[in-house]
C-alpha cells in the first residue's frame, strides 16, 4: 500500500465517524437528552449541592469557624423540645396564611374610598398603616390608583392588606369585581 492510498483512507474514516456522530445527535431522544443535561447540571450544582450540604450540616454540632462533629438527629430532638421553636413554627404559619392570602375588605358597595399618598380612608375613617408606596423594594416606581375620592360600585370591593406596608392591594390596582372573591375567612379563636 502506498502513502497516497493511506492518506485517502484516513479522511474517509473520519468522514464516516463524523456522519455517524451527526446521525446519532439528530435522533430525537438523543437531542432531547443533550438539551436537558446542561440545565440539569446547573440545577444540581446550584440547588442540589447546597440542599444536601444543608442536610449534612443539620446533622452536626458545628460552632462557627470550627470543625463540626456528627451528632445525628440530636439537633432535631432539641428543637422538638424547645418551646421557642414551636412558637416560631406557629408564627410562621399564622403570618404566611394571614399576610399573603387574606386581605381585609376595606370598601363595599356605596362606601367612599379616599386614596392619598400618606393614607387611605373609607367613609372618612383613615386606615392604619395605609400609606401608598411610590417605589418597590428594588427602587422601581410603583403605579397606583389616582389620588382622590371615589364611590365603590355595586359589583366591586376594595381589598387591603394593612399588616404589611408592602402588601399588593387595591391601593395599587383599584377595586376588584365582587365575583372574584373565592371565600371568606372566619376567625376560629380570638383573644
CATH code (residue 176): 2.10.109.10
**Would 46 be classed as within a structural domain?**
yes
CA 111 to chain centre: 34
Query: Is residue 189 assigned to a domain?
Result: no
| Whether residues 74 and 98 fall in one domain | no
Residue 87: inside a domain = no
Same domain, 98 and 60: no
Looking at the structure, tell me whether residues 156 and 114 fall in a common domain.
Answer: yes
**Is position 68 within any domain?**
yes
- SS3 for 99-160 is HHHCCEEEECCCCEEEECCCCEEECCEECCCCCCCCECCCCCECCCCCCEEEECCCCEEEEE
Looking at the structure, tell me whether residues 142 and 170 fall in a common domain. yes
Same domain, 11 and 75: yes
Give the model's pLDDT for residue 186: 73
Structure-model confidence comparison of residues 26 and 13, the more confident one: 26
Give the domain range for residue 139: 94-180
Q: Is residue 27 part of a domain?
A: yes
Q: Which grid cell is 51?
A: 440542599
Q: Rounded to an integer, what distance in angstroms lies between the CA atom of residue 134 and that of residue 147?
A: 12
pLDDT, tens digit, 9 for 90 and up, residues 32-90: 888 899 999 999 999 999 999 999 999 999 888 888 899 999 999 999 999 999 999 98
Give burial (CB, 10 Å; 0-12/13-18/19+) of 90. exposed
pLDDT, one tens digit per residue, over 116-147 is 988 889 999 988 888 888 888 888 888 889 99
d(CA 50, CA 2): 60
Number of domains in the chain: 2
Amino acid at each position: 500500500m502506498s502513502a497516497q492510498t493511506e492518506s485517502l483512507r484516513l479522511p474517509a474514516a473520519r468522514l464516516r465517524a463524523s456522519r455517524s456522530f451527526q446521525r446519532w445527535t439528530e435522533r430525537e431522544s438523543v437531542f432531547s437528552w443533550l438539551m436537558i443535561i446542561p440545565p440539569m447540571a446547573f440545577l444540581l450544582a446550584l440547588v442540589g449541592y447546597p440542599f444536601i450540604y444543608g442536610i449534612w450540616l443539620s446533622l452536626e454540632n458545628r460552632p462557627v469557624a470550627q470543625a463540626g462533629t456528627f451528632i445525628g438527629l440530636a439537633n432535631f430532638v432539641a428543637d422538638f423540645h424547645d418551646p421557642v421553636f414551636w412558637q416560631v413554627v406557629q408564627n410562621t404559619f399564622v403570618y404566611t396564611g394571614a399576610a399573603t392570602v387574606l386581605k381585609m375588605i376595606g370598601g363595599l358597595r356605596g362606601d367612599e374610598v379616599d386614596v392619598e399618598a400618606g393614607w387611605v380612608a373609607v367613609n372618612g375613617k383613615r386606615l392604619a398603616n395605609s400609606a401608598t408606596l411610590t417605589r418597590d423594594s428594588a427602587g422601581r416606581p410603583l403605579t397606583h390608583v389616582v389620588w382622590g375620592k371615589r364611590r365603590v360600585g355595586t359589583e366591586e370591593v376594595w381589598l387591603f392588606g394593612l399588616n404589611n406596608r408592602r402588601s399588593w392591594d387595591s391601593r395599587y390596582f383599584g377595586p376588584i369585581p365582587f365575583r372574584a372573591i373565592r371565600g371568606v375567612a372566619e376567625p376560629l379563636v380570638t383573644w
